Amino acid sequence: MIRAANGLSDESARDARFQPGALVKHRRYGYRGVVVAVDLRCMADDAWYQKNKTQPSRDQPWYHVLVDKGQHTTYAAEENLSRDDLSVPIDHPWIELFFLAFSHGAYVRNDRPWSFE
C-alpha cells in the first residue's frame, strides 16, 4: 500500500512541479483534483506498483490528489499530471480537513499531516 507522505520541505519542494494546494488534471484519465501531499519518488510497495496500469517511473515526484466530485484520492506520477487552468474549487469532502482557503486558483494548505495507509 502507499505509505504516509510528510509533505515537502523547502529544499525538496524545488524538485516537484506541483505544490500542495495546486489544482491538477490527469493527462490520461481527465479527472481534476488538488494536490494534498508530495513524495519525491513513488513510495508505494511493489504489489501496488505492479497493479498500476500506467507504471510510470518511480523516480519522479508522486502526488496524493483529492479527486474532484469524488470521495477518494489518487496517487499519481508527475508525468501524468498537468496544471488545471479552470481555477474552480474542487468538490471533495476532505477539502476542509487539509486546506484553509481557496485563493487565486489554488488552495492554501494547513499544517495537518497527510497520511494514508
51-104: per-residue pLDDT in tens?
877 778 889 999 999 999 999 999 999 999 999 999 999 999 999 999 999 999
Domain that holds residue 64: 10-107
Taking the model in full, what pTM does it have? 0.85
Q: Does residue 59 belong to any structural domain of this protein? A: yes
CATH number at 29 reads 2.30.30.390
Q: Does the pLDDT of residue 14 top 70, yes or no?
A: no
pLDDT the model gives residue 116: 57
Residue-averaged pLDDT of the chain: 87
**How far is it, in rounded angstroms, from Cα 103 to Cα 44?**
31
Find where cell 490520461 sits: 28
In a domain, 40, yes or no: yes
Confirm whether 37 is domain-assigned: yes
At residue 5, does pLDDT exceed 70?
no
With respect to residue 91, please indicate whether it lies within any of the assigned structural domains: yes
Q: Read off the C-alpha cell for 34.
A: 488538488
- Within-domain flag for 115: no
Beta strands in 40-98 (DSSP E): 62-67, 73-77, 81-83
- How many CB atoms sit inside 10 A of residue 76's CB? 26
